[in-house]
């Protein structure tokens, strides 16, 4: 006769779903001065993390420090500059030598919504330098330390634009497809190490500066992007980050794609000349 044990009997007692850090762990969040980065920093601080929030606008970071308190540490950083990233590395080594345990590569931007044939080459360059090269530079500098310390997690902020093409997405979508495939490649290279890699791919999210930047400061057009759309909020993305980061160490969340209920895929188009 086979004896069936309840499933719970075979599980170790410490198998809790959420792993809030027992001692303060250190997260480095890029693009922390606005939008997702601000919300991610707030959510991580609430979850017990010490957060180093990095971006170019020091005044914004200092205001966020006032809001979030002493567990939020502002760090001026331009991910497109080797010198600035080297300074960030030195700053982390001096002030947080045991970290970062978590690197959230969130800094990024889109510029322009027009077709490729009318695009501004400088906009393309800036997107590639920030979203692809800047993100790679951060990983290049901070990954070896994670391996040496025997713990770490890289969470990249990709986009549905890296999964599905849309008119005007051209280079922005290309950079986010890079982030997706780079994330997969990192996971492959980290085989046999405890370091985790996650790519988070949001669709339409309001409440950030994203469209204002993309539309070169045109507030009316930027507001219209979200009109009556019931778009996601930065807090929804932050929740995905915290959830992925708080899984038990054996769990690697590879990808999270999240879209508002109001957004769907529309398939292909046929041009009838
Ligand atoms: P925001 O424009 O609100 O925030 C972008 C952040 O990136 C700012 O904090 C900005 O800070 C920082 N940043 C930009 N360039 C640099 C740089 N060179 N070095 C360091 N920091 C930089 O946009 P979101 O919060 O909406 O976007 C965050 C990420 O999410 C981006 O990667 C974006 O592509 C992605 N995303 C956005 C979606 C959306 O619908 N909003 C959907 C899917 C993905 P500062 O100017 O102070 O440097
Ligand atoms: C931002 C989402 O759809 O504007 O990455 O490209 S979308």
Q: Is the CB of 170 under 6 A from ligand 1?
A: no
User: Per-residue pLDDT averaged across 9-30, rounded?
Assistant: 67
Contact 39, 234 (CB under 8 A): yes
Expressed in angstroms and rounded, the spacing between residue 133 Cα and the centre of ligand 1 is 15
Contact 259, 160 (CB under 8 A): yes
**Ligand 2 atom with minimal separation from the 204 CA:** 2
User: Per-residue pLDDT averaged across 16-22, rounded?
Assistant: 57
What's the CATH code of the domain at 62? 3.40.50.720
- For Cα atoms 41, 52, 104, give the angle at the middle one, nearest 5 degrees: 60
Predicted pLDDT at 14: 56
- Residues carrying an active site annotation: 172
Expressed in angstroms and rounded, the spacing between residue 169 Cα and the centre of ligand 2 is 8
Residues with Cβ within 8 Å of 217's Cβ and at least 6 positions away in sequence, in order, are none
Predicted pLDDT at 266: 81
- For Cα atoms 259, 260, 261, give the angle at the middle one, nearest 5 degrees: 115
The alpha carbon torsion through 252, 257, 258, 264 (nearest 10 deg) reads -160
Expressed in angstroms and rounded, the spacing between residue 182 Cα and the centre of ligand 2 is 19
User: Per-residue pLDDT averaged across 206-224, rounded?
Assistant: 98
Of the listed ranges 13-22, 41-50, 236-245, the least confidently predicted one is 13-22
Q: Is residue 158 part of a domain?
A: yes
Q: Is residue 4 part of a domain?
A: no
Residue 203 has pLDDT above 60, yes or no: yes
User: Per-residue pLDDT averaged across 99-110, rounded?
Assistant: 98
Distance between CA 238 and CA 244 in Å, rounded?
Answer: 10
Q: Which residue among 107, 176, 214, 237 is best mutated to probe the pocket of ligand 1, counting the most ligand atoms within 8 A of its Cβ?
A: 107
User: Per-residue pLDDT averaged across 143-151, rounded?
Assistant: 96
Residue 2 has pLDDT above 60, yes or no: no
Q: Is residue 218 part of a domain?
A: no
The model's confidence at residue 5, banded by pLDDT at 50, 70 and 90, is very low
As beta bridge partners, residue 232 has 205
Distance between CA 273 and CA 62 in Å, rounded?
Answer: 55
Q: How far is CA 56 from CA 15, 46, 76, 194, 254, in A?
A: 40, 24, 5, 31, 29
Total domain count, the chain: 1
Expressed in angstroms and rounded, the spacing between residue 204 Cα and the centre of ligand 2 is 6
Predicted pLDDT at 24: 66
The string of pLDDT tens digits covering residues 252-272 is 999 999 999 999 998 899 999
φ/ψ bin of 230: left (φ > 0), alpha (ψ from -120 to 50), beta (otherwise): left
- In the structure encoding, which two tokens stand for residue 2, read together? 């086979």
Q: Which residue among 28, 29, 30, 31 is best mutated to probe the pocket of ligand 1, counting the most ligand atoms within 8 A of its Cβ?
A: 31
Q: Is residue 33 part of a domain?
A: yes
Q: Is the CB of 30 under 6 A from ligand 1?
A: yes
Contact 109, 78 (CB under 8 A): no
User: What is the average pLDDT score of the chain?
Assistant: 94
Helix (H) or strand (E) run with residue 98 in it:
none
Q: Is residue 15 part of a domain?
A: no
Buried b (16+ CB within 10 A) or exposed e, 108-136: bbbbbbeeeeebeeebbebbbebbbbbbb
Q: Is residue 109 part of a domain?
A: yes
Q: Is the CB of 231 under 6 A from ligand 2?
A: no
Full residue range of the structural domain in which residue 191 is found = 26-205+236-258
Q: Is residue 8 part of a domain?
A: no
Residue 7 has pLDDT above 90, yes or no: no
Looking at the chain, the whole-number percentage of residues with pLDDT higher than 90 is 89
Predicted pLDDT at 267: 86
Q: Is residue 267 part of a domain?
A: no
């Amino acid at each position: 006769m086979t004896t069936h044990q309840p499933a719970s009997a075979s599980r170790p007692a410490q198998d809790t779903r959420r792993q809030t850090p027992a001692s303060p762990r250190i997260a480095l969040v890029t693009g922390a001065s606005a939008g997702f980065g601000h919300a991610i920093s707030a959510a991580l601080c609430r979850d017990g993390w010490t957060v180093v929030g990095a971006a170019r606008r020091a005044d914004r970071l200092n205001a966020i420090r006032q809001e979030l308190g002493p567990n939020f540490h502002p760090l001026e950083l331009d991910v497109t500059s080797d010198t600035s990233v080297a300074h960030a590395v030195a700053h982390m080594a001096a002030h947080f030598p045991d970290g970062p345990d978590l690197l959230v590569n969130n800094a990024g931007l889109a510029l322009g919504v027009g077709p490729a044939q009318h695009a501004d080459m400088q906009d393309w360059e800036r997107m590639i330098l920030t979203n692809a090269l800047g993100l790679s530079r951060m990983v290049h500098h901070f990954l070896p330390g994670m391996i040496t310390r025997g713990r770490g997690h890289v969470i990249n902020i990709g986009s549905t634009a890296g999964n599905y093409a849309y008119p005007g997405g051209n280079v922005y979508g290309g950079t986010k497809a890079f982030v997706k495939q780079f994330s997969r490649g990192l996971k492959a290279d980290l085989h046999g190490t405890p370091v985790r890699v996650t790519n988070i791919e949001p669709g339409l999210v309001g409440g950030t500066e994203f469209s204002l930047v993309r539309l070169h400061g045109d507030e009316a057009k930027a507001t219209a992007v979200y009109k009556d759309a019931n778009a996601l909020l930065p807090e929804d993305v932050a929740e995905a980050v915290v959830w992925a980061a708080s899984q038990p160490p054996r769990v690697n969340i590879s990808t999270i794609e999240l879209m508002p209920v109001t957004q769907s895929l529309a398939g292909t188009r046929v041009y009838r000349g």
